[in-house]
Amino acid sequence: MNDMVGISSTTRERVLQAAKELHYRPSRFGRGLVVGHRPTLGLVIEGLTNPYFPELADGVVEAASRAGWNVLVTDGSHDSSNPVRFLRDLAAQVDAIIGYLRIPAVDFDDVFGDLPVVQLEDQPSPGSAGWSRSTSGRAWSPPSTTFSPAGADGSS
């Protein structure tokens, strides 16, 4: 993947083809270990003029900062004509995504690959905590309603 010396062009093409078929994307976490950058969370909200969203963003930024994360806040309502392109572009810039994503969870693998994703629901269903997550078609419920990125509690 890094144009290493001594790798034949045939092997290189096979590796690149396999990476494409598997939706491989280099790990920003891995690169962060090498270059020493803080991981970045992408937060997708739906309208900065709605008083709820700046308050949500403030809480996410506060929790993420305590855990050593940067947060990239973006307003998905301004690019609603092509949410897949918008989200793929965002996914290339961040280590995880949380927010109102405007695509069904069954499309997450195609759009995000193995990127950790939390989708906030527009209207929580009865009995749900208000969000679901899928990076392989599986959904799970949170242990609490408080956002806690990896490492916030001292674990990794």
Reduced 3-state DSSP string for the chain = CCCCCCCCHHHHHHHHHHHHHCCCCCCHHHHHHHHCCCCEEEEEECCCCCCHHHHHHHHHHHHHHHCCCEEEEEEHHHHCCCHHHHHHHHHCCCCEEEECCCCCHHHHHHHHCCCCEEEECCCCCCCCCCEECCCCCCCCCCCCCCCCCCCCCCCC
Pick the range with the lowest mean pLDDT from 24-33, 62-71, 122-131. Answer: 122-131
Residue 84 in contact with residue 104, Cβ under 8 Å? no
51 is written with which tokens? 């008083």
Across the chain, what does the average pLDDT equal? 75
131 is written with which tokens? 């969000």
pLDDT at 46: 87
pLDDT at 3: 66
Pick 20 or 119 by higher pLDDT. 119
Instruction: Answer yes or no: is pLDDT of 133 > 60.
Output: no
Instruction: Please give the CATH topology (third level) of the domain spanning 9-132.
Output: Rossmann fold (3.40.50)
Pick 55 or 126 by higher pLDDT. 55
The predicted-structure confidence for 88-121, as pLDDT tens digits, reads as follows 999 988 989 999 988 888 888 889 988 899 988 7
